[in-house]
Amino acid sequence: MKTALTIAGSDSSGGAGIQADLKTFSAHGLFGMSVIVAVTAQNTQEVIAVQDIDPDIIGKQIDAIFKDIAVDVVKIGMVSQVESILTIADRLRLYDPEIIVLDTVMVSKSGYDLLNPEAVDTLIGELLPIATVVTPNIPEAEKIVGEKIESIADMEEAAKFIYDMGAKNVLITGGHLEGDAVDVLFDGDTFTHYGSPKIETKNTHGTGCTLSSAIASNLALGMDITKAIFEAKDYIDDVIAHSLDIGKGAGPTNHFYRLYRDSGMEVR
């Protein structure tokens, strides 16, 4: 069985972060492991508080995994502090995993800063250059490049800019633009567009985490980057279309919809 390690924050409501990553890994048939870098108090409506884990414990969690278990892919999600980022970058350079997917989580849907603004440059300088693929949404890409993104052409320019920062592949997700959702991949030579109609639902909690974890899973399973993203997009469309109306705010995606469907299990 392939293995996947998520390095991210815990979501107490189970829809995003570590919890979404592990569910996505399992839905793709991978054995998931985790390094928790922060504990959040959040639900479908808001992030109430964040408690960061001591960087020394973050490093020891990473050591514990790599000294014992072969890791086929690493997915990095929410990391909020400079010292945490430096610790993660140091350990990943040491253990040199073949595939690293970086989801540049910066702000929650409710507007809570999940990445300390002072740590943005550290994330760019330390984690982007070791990433196999980085997956910012448009607001995150705007923070990285320092420019507004209002069109697909702008997304392409931003992808090239971020690629030049060191990432081997850049996928900018376009759900924040008007009209159909178009994501743009740049691999250093070619642009690939992934289009899909927007699904009308409020239940989109954890979609960024889920998409990047699905990409990580597919890369671990041996797909090339173009197919890994195509299959991940197909998966995310399914789990959003059959999302769960849980909570009073933006409910979670239905990570195991396909497994439930194929097994004949009725979800009530």
Q: What is the pLDDT of residue 231?
A: 97
Radius of gyration of the chain (CA): 17
pTM above 0.85, yes or no: yes
Q: What is the pLDDT of residue 111?
A: 63
Q: What is the pLDDT of residue 109?
A: 62
Q: What is the DSSP letter of 179?
A: S
Q: Please, what CATH class does the domain formed by 3-255 belong to? A: alpha beta
Which regions in the chain score pLDDT beneath 50? none
Q: What is the pLDDT of residue 108?
A: 64
Query: Does residue 95 contact residue 134 with C-beta atoms inside 8 Å?
Result: no
The Cα 67–Cα 62 span in angstroms is: 8
Q: What is the pLDDT of residue 198?
A: 81
Alpha helices in the chain (DSSP H): 17-27, 55-66, 82-95, 120-126, 138-145, 152-163, 207-220, 225-241, 257-263
Residue 148 falls in which region: left (phi positive, over 0), alpha (psi -120 to 50) or beta: beta
φ, ψ for residue 155, nearest 5 deg: -60, -40
Q: What is the pLDDT of residue 195?
A: 86
